[in-house]
Amino acid sequence: MQKALFCVLAALVGAGLAAAADDSAGAALEWRAGAAAAMITPERPLRMAGYAARKEPAEGAEQDLFAKALALQDGEGHRVVILTADLIGIIDRLREDVARRVEEQYRLPPHALLMNASHTHCGPAYGRADAEDYFDQLADTLVALVGQALDRLAPAALSYSHARCGFAMNRRTPTDSGYRNHPNPDGPVDHAVPVLRVDGADGALRAVVFGYACHNTTMGFLKWLGDYAGYAQEYFERDHPGATAMFLIGCGADQNPYPRSQLEYARRHGRSLATAVEAALEVGQKTTRHQRPLRGPLRTVLESVDLEYSEADRPHHAYPVQLVRFGNDLCIVALAHEVVVDYSLRLKRELAEPGGPAIWVAGYSNVCSGYIPSRRVLREGGYEASSRPWKPTLEELIVGKVHALFDRLDSAP
């Protein structure tokens, strides 16, 4: 496979050191940041991930697929790298391979590497035996991206803000025969669009990381496509030359983009989401009033909690939970697998306090191999509840672990 398809395309965050005019400016530039991106579109025909009914390989690309990395470092030298990709998910083998090599080559521990896949159903089934060449090249590319982002660390200011976007809708509709996969305008949703902004020492916008809780599944045809998340990043980067846009999908396991099944809808949803990012950044406003500057220290933690199955002979499942905390300003909670929206709504409600950090909950992080229903969804039944025979204790176990890690970082020096 040609290396050209995995060449680094963008981008460098910040350059040079600007003298601080006052104490606040000096504090704002306590951060260093660097970003990089690479195309990961398969060169040869491969089977597609997400819909088992598609037996044929992809017939080419409607849109190229990308992986992107953002490295951040606080004034004390603590680092984290956020690594995103237009993939169905991060399989265990990929996470283990990339995390091991990143630690060996760049001395970045696994708890400081957050991997998140956009969950597009128009990406490659890269874990198959007939895709080993692609898997190897993909892993090489992701490891190289982390190194490039770290090499490009330069003075930067970070801030957080959020807006809203409305095309996601709950897909669990109650019927006389149980819950069906159908748009439910009365079901729970999380329409928040959290945005992490990176400005260079010159004040120019260098990168944004944004999230949304919705399946990235407008389309299911036989072409490579980043779907609405791919278009949102493409449109934002086109509208802001020199900036790298990254998508961190939220708890959208029971959320779908509506309407769907037409390419034009994927583009429209992408434009809607890109516009929401602009709104979060208060683009066009003479005075910004909702940008929360991020201060240090940067703290990261990654641990697992054992989830129980209802089948007695089935071993417990080690479920990874990761937190990335920016002082008292922002905490990203990264949950594994396909997490339903109840987790995001609950954790934000329970963890957010006046004067405390904003809470950002991401799903599909680090590993992804099945659904994580809430206690409510398990009780109701339906598609998201039938992925695995979970005991109804799983929600309290996951939420309890998040609380424990949050409290630990809250009290850390």
What's the pLDDT tens digit per position in 326-373? 999 999 999 999 999 999 999 999 999 999 999 999 999 999 989 999
* Euclidean distance between CA atoms 362 and 333, whole angstroms: 6
261 within 8 A of 218, measured Cβ to Cβ: yes
Q: Which of 386, 389, 387 is nearest to 368 (CA)?
A: 387
Mean pLDDT of 286-299: 96
CA distances from 279 to 71, 286, 291 (A): 25, 13, 11
pLDDT digits 0-9 by tens, 38-95? 999 999 999 999 998 899 999 999 999 999 999 999 999 999 999 999 999 999 999 9
Lowest mean pLDDT across 15-29, 132-146, 168-182, 284-298: 15-29
Summarised one tens digit per residue, pLDDT across range 224-256 is: 999 999 999 999 999 999 999 999 999 999 999
The answer to the question of residue 35 being in a domain is: yes
Phi-psi region of 185 (alpha: psi -120 to 50; beta: other; left: phi over 0): alpha
Domain extent for 62: 3-280
Looking at the domain assignment, is residue 127 inside a domain?
yes
Residue partners of 28: CB distance under 8 A and separation at least 6: 157, 293
- The tokens describing 281, both together, are 């950044």
Structure tokens given for 41: 């579109």
Within a domain: residue 151? Answer: yes
Instruction: Give the pairing type, strands 79-85 and 113-117.
Output: parallel
CB-based contact 244:37 (threshold 8 Å): yes
**How many domains does the chain fold into?**
1
Distances from the Cα of 179 to the Cα of 61, 218, 222, angstroms: 35, 21, 29
Q: What percent of the chain has pLDDT over 70?
A: 93
pLDDT higher at 3 or 399: 399
Across residues 130-137, what is the average pLDDT? 98
Residue 83 lies in a domain: yes
- Residue 411, CB half-sphere, CA atoms under 13 Å: how many? 5
pLDDT at 1: 43
- Would you say residue 108 lies in a domain? yes
**pTM of this prediction?**
0.93
Within-domain flag for 96: yes
CA distances from 372 to 205, 363, 398 (A): 36, 10, 10
User: Residue range 122-129: average pLDDT?
Assistant: 98
Token pair in block for residue 274: 């890109």
DSSP-derived pairing of the beta strands 79-85 and 66-73: antiparallel
* Confidence at 28, pLDDT banded by 50, 70, 90: low
pLDDT higher than threshold 60 for residue 10: no
255 falls within a domain:
yes
| Mean pLDDT of the residues in the chain | 93
Residue 413: predicted pLDDT: 73
pLDDT at 412: 78
- Using one digit for the tens of pLDDT, what is the confidence trace for 391-409? 999 999 999 999 999 999 9
Residue 180 falls inside a structural domain: yes
